[in-house]
Chain A
Amino acid sequence: DTGVSQDPRHKITKRGQNVTFRCDPISEHNRLYWYRQTLGQGPEFLTYFQNEAQLEKSRLLSDRFSAERPKGSFSTLEIQRTEQGDSAMYLCASSLDYQPHYFGPGTRLLVL
Chain B
Amino acid sequence: AQKVTQAQTEISVVEKEDVTLDCVYETRDTTYYLFWYKQPPSGELVFLIRRNSFDEQNEISGRYSWNFQKSTSSFNFTITASQVVDSAVYFCALAGGFKTIFGAGTRLFVKA
Q: Using CB atoms and an 8 Å cutoff, list the residues of chain A in contact with chain B.
A: 33, 35, 40-45, 48, 50, 55-56, 89, 91, 93, 98-106
Contact = CB atoms under 8 A, between A and B. Distances in A.
Interface string B57-69: 0000000000000
Q: From DSSP, what is the main secondary structure of chain B's interface residues?
A: strand
Interface string B32-43: 010101000001
B19 interface: no
B96 to A, nearest CB: 9
A43 B43 contact: no
Nearest to A33: B100
A41 B99 contact: no
Interface of B: 4, 33, 35, 37, 43-47, 50, 52, 91, 93, 95, 97-105
B105 A42 contact: yes
A43 B44 contact: no
Nearest to B31: A98
Given A100-B35, A100-B50, A43 B45 contact: yes
Given A91-B45, A98-B33, A103-B44, A45 B91 contact: no
Contact of B44 (A35, A50, A99, A106): A106
B99 A48 contact: yes
